[in-house]
């Protein structure tokens, strides 16, 4: 008993002493690529805030023509002007994209394809986390609908342009939370049972399975694809959960800044010689371990077919 009490008393002191080392470990990973992107075109979803904003800013700094694809166009315009002023790159454009509405996704893709001859980088960054049970405009559970199905449809609509622009890359922002995820095809939309936290995990697992199946289908096209865990980042993603907001505040010292959180996205988008690792999952700018469920090719292929069916895409 005395030993337990002593440990409890010493724990805050030990945490204080170890804090710098713990923080360094949790916020590691930097994209060191010096690649410049003049003449390249990039789309970043959800780039009006958080790691998406930092990703767009870095790409603009390198000279790319960057599309901020977001639901809140007014906020997006403010961010675009901020990036333009910081980088001197006027080619930062804002277009409306609501991933919770397939009509909006199709309208964005139609407008983009009419406007641009090329697309070199598609960074599927936007997402929702731990929101109360709700449905998208098309009746999908919100987290699976936005995080997976929305980006699945967007990628499908832009895929030919990516192939025409090869070499090109698709980067899907997933999460370490995928380890707790499961693809239950009998409850994919949360109709029988819904838990906000688990639903987020399921959608992040779907991101990884989508990336792997997409990589398999894109072999030989010059288009490569990667999924990633950005780290635990101070962002607006936890706005739906009071508990998570409290936890974020308590442990804010150990969280990544949005700039740090964007590093692995940038690493996957820019690092030369990464083509042979298409389909892999990354964290802190290194290949990361994926759960057994995230390596299940049978589930990945079935999820692809089910996603196509839900979105009205012909299954090939």
Q: Which residues are catalytic?
A: 200
In angstroms, rounded to a whole number, what is the distance separating the alpha carbons of residues 127 and 45? 9
H helices within the chain, ranges in order?
2-26, 50-61, 73-87, 102-115, 142-143, 151-164, 196-217, 242-250, 258-261, 263-270, 297-311
Residue 163 to residues 145, 170, 204, 301, Cα–Cα distance (Å): 25, 11, 25, 21
Distances (CA, A) of 53 to 81, 129, 260, 266, 288: 12, 18, 12, 12, 24
Buried b (16+ CB within 10 A) or exposed e, 92-123: bbbbebbbbbbebbeebbeebeeebeebbbbb
277 DSSP assignment: G
Strand 281-283, strand 223-229: pairing = parallel
């Amino acid at each position: 008993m005395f030993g337990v009490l002593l440990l409890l008393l010493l724990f805050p002191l030990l945490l204080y002493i170890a804090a710098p080392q713990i923080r360094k470990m949790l916020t590691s990973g930097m994209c060191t690529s010096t690649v410049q992107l003049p003449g390249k075109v990039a789309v970043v979803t959800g780039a009006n805030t958080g790691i998406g904003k930092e990703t767009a800013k870095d790409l603009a700094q390198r000279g790319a023509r960057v599309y901020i694809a977001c639901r809140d166009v007014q906020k997006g315009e403010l961010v675009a002007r901020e990036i333009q002023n910081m980088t001197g790159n006027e080619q930062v454009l804002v277009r409306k994209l609501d991933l919770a509405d397939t009509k909006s996704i199709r309208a964005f893709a139609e407008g983009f394809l009419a406007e641009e001859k090329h697309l070199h980088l598609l960074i599927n960054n936007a997402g929702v986390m731990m929101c109360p049970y709700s449905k998208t405009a098309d009746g999908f559970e919100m987290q699976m609908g936005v995080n997976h199905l929305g980006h699945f449809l967007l990628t499908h609509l832009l895929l030919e342009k990516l192939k025409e622009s090869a070499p090109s890359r698709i980067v899907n922002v997933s999460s370490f939370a995928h380890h707790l995820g499961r693809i239950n095809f009998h409850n994919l939309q949360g109709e029988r049972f819904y838990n906000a936290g688990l639903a987020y995990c399921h959608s992040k697992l779907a991101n990884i399975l989508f990336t792997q199946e997409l990589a398999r289908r894109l072999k030989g096209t010059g288009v490569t694809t990667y999924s990633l865990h950005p780290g635990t980042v101070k962002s607006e993603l936890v706005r739906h959960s009071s508990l998570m907001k409290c936890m974020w505040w308590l442990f804010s010292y150990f969280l990544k800044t949005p700039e740090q959180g964007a590093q692995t996205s940038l690493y996957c988008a820019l690092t030369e010689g990464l083509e042979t690792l298409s389909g892999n999952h990354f964290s802190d700018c290194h290949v990361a371990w994926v759960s057994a469920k995230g390596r299940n090719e049978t589930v990945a292929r079935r999820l692809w077919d089910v996603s196509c069916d839900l979105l009205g895409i012909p299954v090939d």
